[in-house]
Structure 1
Amino acid sequence: MSNHLAIATATTALRYVLDRALHDQHPGSVADARVTTLRPDRLVTPDIGQSAGVNLFLYRVTPNAALRSADLPGRDRRGNFLERPLQALDLHYLVTCHGKDSALEAQRLLGRTVTALAVHPVLGPRLVSAAVEAYAGMDDTAFLRDSDLAEQTEPVRVTPTTLSSDELSRLWAVFPQSPYQLSVTYTVTVALLEAPVATRRAPSVRERALHLSAVAAPRLVSVGDGGADAATGPGAALVLRGERLLGSATRVRLGPVELTPLPDATPLLLTVVVGDDVPAGLHPVQVLHLAPEEPAGDPPARVACGSNALSVTVRPTVVRAVWGDTDIVLDLTPPLFAGQRATVLFSGATGAGGTGAGTVIFLRPPGAPGTRPQPSLRVPRSEVAQGAWLVRVQVDGVESLPEPVGEPGSPVVTSPPV
C-alpha cells in the first residue's frame, strides 16, 4: 500500500523514464529537449518559449475496476477501524510531444517516448526509488522523500490507451487557448492509497484450550398455552415445554433479555417471569445451557448449546390514562425503549373496537439510540375531542388488548367537565 503521495510519485517515475530516454545517446536525438509536467495550455509561455520536449499531464483519475470492491474498511461497534481504508486508482496521462515542425522534432520525440515506455511497462520498486532519489533534492519535488510507492506490493503498470477522435477533441477543448499538438495517452494502474489511521484488533491468542463434551441440545415444543406461539406481558409467568430443558446452568433468552427459570423447573417444563425489561413486540424465546463454570479469573461461562426458537408476543399494557391540563398522559408497561415506534389509538368508549369513524390516531416517532426507556406517553390534549375514549397502544406492530368498558383497570380516559 502507499500513502497519499502515490499519484505524484507515479508521475515522477514516468518523468524519470522519459528524461533518461531523451538524454541517452540515440540516432535523431533532439537537442535540449526536456520533460515537463505542465498543463498543455502552458507549454508555450515566455519562460519556456518554443523549446522542444515531452509533457506529461494527468488529465483523469478513475477507480480501478478490479480492486474498487476490495475496500471494505470495517469498524467495530465503537467506531474504531478494523482495517485501513483503501482507494485503488487508475491514472490517465496525456503525453504531448512538441518541437519544430519543419525538423519533425515532435515526431522524433514521440517515437522515443513510446519506445521508452515499452521498455519500462512496469514502474518497479527500483525504478521508483531511483526517480525519488533523482528529484527529491529539488525544491518543487522535495515532498518525494516521504513517498512510499516503492514499497507497494501491487505492481504499477504502464499501458498505452486509445482515444477516439471525438474524445481527443473534447479533451483538447478543455484548453481553448492551446492548439492541438501531437499526443498519445497512457494509463498507469494501480495506485493503492491507504489512509494512515490507527486500527484496532483483538489481542492475540496466548493459549488454545479445547474442551469436548457430548451434550444433547434442548428442544422446545410449545410455549404458553401449548401452541407454537404465545402472548404474554410484564409480570406474567411464561411456561415452556419441551425435552432436555434443564441443564447444569440454564437460562431462557427472550428477545434481548436472559431470564432465570423458577426453582420448580424440570427437564420437561420451565417457567420464567417476564419482567418489564423485555420490550414489547414479537420476540424469539430459546433455552440455553451454559458450560460449567471455569476457575476464578477465567472468562464467564459460555453457552454450550441452545434449543430451537419459538416466537412470543409481549403485549404492551396501558396501566393508567389521565386527562391532564395540557396533555393526556398514558402510563405503559413495559416502557418504550430506544428505536421503538408507538401508535396511540383513541376509540369512542361506546364502540370499543375498530378504527373507523370516531377514532383518533397519534404517532410517536422512535427514540434515538441511547435514550432511556420512557414509561409514559404524552398526547397533546388539543388532538383529542371532549368525551370518553378507550385507549389502545401499538408498539412495533403489537397492540394492547382493549378491556371491556367499565371493568376495573380498563384504559378509558374521560375529559373533565367543561
Structure 2
Amino acid sequence: MGDYRTVAAVSRAIAHVLENALDRRGMRGEYKVSIASPHQTSADRNHTKSINLFLYHVRPTPSLRNNDIPVFEGGRMVNVPTIGLDLYYLLSFYGNKPNDLESERLLGLAVTALNAHPLLTQVDFHASAEPDRAELGQLDTVAVTPMTLTIEEMQRLWAMFPSVPYTLSMSYCASAALLVGDEVPAPPLPVSSTNRNISPQLPPAISGLARADGADLPVTFGSRLAISGQRLAAKRVAIDVGGVRIPVPASAVTDTAIEVDLDDARLRAGSEPVSVLHLETKPSETADAGVLTRSAPAQLQLAPLLRLATVTSIEPQPSAAGQQPSRYRGKIDLVVEPTPVSGQQAGIVLNRPGHDAYAFSAQLERGKLVAAFHDLAAGRYLIRVEIAGASSLLEPQGGQPYTAPSIQITPRRPRHG
C-alpha cells in the first residue's frame, strides 16, 4: 500500500514497461513514451512517433469498498483505512505520416508488452521511480488488463477532446491501486467493563413434546408442556413458541427435560415451532436478554381451550305451509383461549349422538368469536372450536361417553298477551 503518490507511480510503471519494450527492439531513440493529455500531446507532438498514456477515469474498486474502516485491537490500530482505486488509461499511438502504419506497429508493440507483463510488481515501481523523489515504500501488485470498448464508447471518450483529431487508441484498466492516508484516527475509548459468557459447543436439542401430566392427549392452551431432549440446561433458559418468548424458571429445567405452562395470551392455536433458548446472563432479570444459542425447532400442535359457548339468538327456519318448523338457525358466542388472530381460520363442530356432525365457520366480531348456525334440529349438541386446524377437547376423557362442553338448541316459546 502506498500514499498519495501511488497513482502517479502506477502511471510511470506502465510507461516503464512500454519503454523497456522499445529498448529491446532498439527503437528507444526513434520512438518515445509520454504521459500527458491528448490536448498536450497534440500540441507538442511535432510529428514525433510515440505512445501516449493518459489517465482518463478513476473509480473505487468495488470489492474493496469496506476496507476504509479502521480496526482496533487492544487499543492499537491493526487495520488502517485503505482505499482501492481502479485506474482507466487511454493509450494513443502516433506515427509520422498518415499512411506509414507506424501507429499500428506501436499498438502491436504495446499490446504484446502488456500482455507479457500484466502485473506491476515492486520491481517495476522501484525501477520507474524518479531518482529525486523520496522512497515510495512497499506497493501492492497492480494488474493491467485491456478493456473492450465499443465504437460508440470510444467516440464518447474522444469527444472529451473536441479540438484533437482521433488517432488509433486502446483502453487499459490498472487494478487495484491501494492508497493509505497519512492521518491516524484517534483510538476509541477503553472498555469500561466486560461480561464474559461461555456457551456450550453444541446447541440444545429437542427430542419430544408432550403434556406434562402424561395424558395421551393434544397439548392445549393453559396446560403444562413437557420438553425432552439433550443439553437443555443453562444459567438462563427460555422457550420460543411461534415467536413468543416464555422464560423458564431454573427449578423447571434439567439437562434432559423442561416443563413450562402454556398460558401466555400472546400464544396462537395451531401448529407452531418450539425452540429452547439459552440466554445471556444479565444483572437485571427483566432485561431483554440476547440469545447465545438455540435448538432446532420442533412443531407443536397447540389446541385452543373453549371456556364458554352461549346461544345468543335462535329462530325457526321457514317450513312448508301448515307444518311446524323443525329446523332452526341462530348465533353462538364463544369464549376461547387463545383468541384467534387476523388471518387464522376459525369454526365450530357440533355433534349430536346418533346424528351427523355439523361444521360452521366463526368470525371475530368486536373482539369476540361468533359462529352462525343453520338447519339444526332442536336438541343438545357437543361443541368443539377449531382454530388453524387445531381442535378443542371434549370431556370426559378415558373412554367414557362425551358429555361436555355442549349447547342446547331450544326453540323459544311464543309469548301470549
Specify if TM > 0.5: no
TM-score per shorter chain, which class? Answer: 0.3 to 0.5
Return the TM-score normalized by structure 2.
0.45
Larger Rg: 2
Return the TM-score normalized by structure 1.
0.45
